[in-house]
Amino acid sequence: MEIDHASKTATTSKPEKPDAFTRYQKFVVAVLAFLQFTIILDFMILAPLGAILMPALGITTAQFGLVVSAYAFSAGASGLLAAGFADRFDRKKLLLFFYMGFILGTFLCGIAPTYNLLLAARMVTGLFGGVIGSIVFAITTDLFAFSMRGRVMGVVQTAFAASQVLGIPFGLYLSSRFGWHSIFLMIVATSAAVGVVIFAYLKPIDGHLKVRVDRSAAHHFIDTLSRPRYLKAFATTALMSIGGFLMMPFSSAFSVNNLGISLERLPMVYMCTGFCNILIGPLVGKLSDTIGKFKMFMIGSVMGMVMILIYTHLGITPIGMVILVSILMFTTISSRMISASALMSAIPDPQHRGSYMSMSSSIQQVSGGIAAAAGGLIVVQTANGPLQNFDILGYVAIGAMIFTAIMMFFINRMVNEKREAAL
């Protein structure tokens, strides 16, 4: 069995003394975080543009929903299609190829004059953009020792919060002033600059090619999919995504209709929550490396269950309290996601890392869609506005978190056994 070179200096289940970052590693973390910011902003910006897009293109809510979901569907499909080839190339070249495709798709969105062309452009964007996240995580695992990955994931994951605080408000401002095409063209310009930096300064990442057994893409795909420990990790990823996405699509409607937050003040809730998570993400990553990734995951899970119980049972609430509860709840989400990503990065062997990450990314996309659909069957909006059964949705999310915690116990044990075998 091939062993990650970073594991050779690792200890067992006890937390390690975190290693220091080199100057080049700091550069890699920064550029990957900024790259993730552009990808996530492109994915997240479309939903808030609904009020501008629908009248501009003369489309229905169902058609707009299809535009939003087209990215996720094509991203999920491309992740599976790329899995067989993900470990056959230098990861820098693979990243640049898919990033250029993402830029092209975003540019097509920025010039699309009709609904059908926008729909096709979103599919192109998802086809390339959906694979980039898995390449980023594969690069992270290749270049950083296990004792450093919590901090790396903590910084990279702040891209979600940064897009919420900086990208979406600025994007909405541009769209309202210059038209909805302008935000996509801004993302193209920013992404092109990031692409030039990656091309010029990121070193080749081809260590996995030295240990890879030369097989066909189909054989490589089947080999990755048939490994028992990978299947356990995929199942854990699916369950964690379901628990995380169940409530997310309905949080804004719950805030407005049940908590009494006006639409005008709702952006303040998201901005305050996102800003705090920009600060908290790196801290959570550092704690994951210091006290242990599984321990950090369990702390986040227990706190998350408590916050979900509180949040889903709130009535009309002052905006200050809503902001505080939202910050605490999203902090627990970050704690789970960052620590789990860092821990499960040790699961794949170097020669399967790209394939494993591609499959995992696809599973996240599909699981998130299933969760959103399931949540829609549970939650009901009354004629006078408030959502019903949101508390039941919370109980289902807590149940998924409990089962995820059980599965993460076995994942942690597998990781420890693998790393002990490398000593």
Task: Write the pLDDT tens digit of every residue in 295-347.
Answer: 999 999 999 999 999 999 999 999 999 999 989 988 888 888 889 888 888 88
Residue 406 lies in a domain: yes
* Cβ neighbours, 10 Å, residue 336: 26
Q: What percent of the chain has pLDDT over 90?
A: 26
Residue 68 lies in a domain: yes
User: What pLDDT, on the 0 to 100 scale, is given for residue 8?
Assistant: 40
232: domain CATH number is: 1.20.1250.20
Q: Which two tokens stand for residue 39?
A: 């990808």
> CA–CA separation, 100 vs 194, rounded Å?
11
| Contact predicate 118/112, CB 8 Å | yes
Residue 15 lies in a domain: no
Domain of residue 211 covers 21-421
> CA–CA separation, 355 vs 348, rounded Å?
9
CA of 154: how far to CAs of 147, 269, 325, 331, 392, in Å?
Answer: 13, 22, 21, 12, 31
Please, is 317 exposed, middle or buried when counting C-beta atoms within 10 Å of its C-beta (0-12, 13-18, 19+)?
A: middle
Q: Return the SS3 of 387.
A: strand
Q: Which two tokens stand for residue 252?
A: 């804004």
Residue 118 lies in a domain: yes
Residue 6 lies in a domain: no
What is the total residue count of the chain?
Answer: 423
Residue 5 lies in a domain: no
Residue 398 lies in a domain: yes
- How confident is the model over 120-145, as pLDDT tens digits? 999 999 889 888 888 888 888 888 88
Domain count, the chain: 1
pTM of full prediction above 0.75 = no
387 band by pLDDT with thresholds 50, 70 and 90: confident
Residue 162 lies in a domain: yes
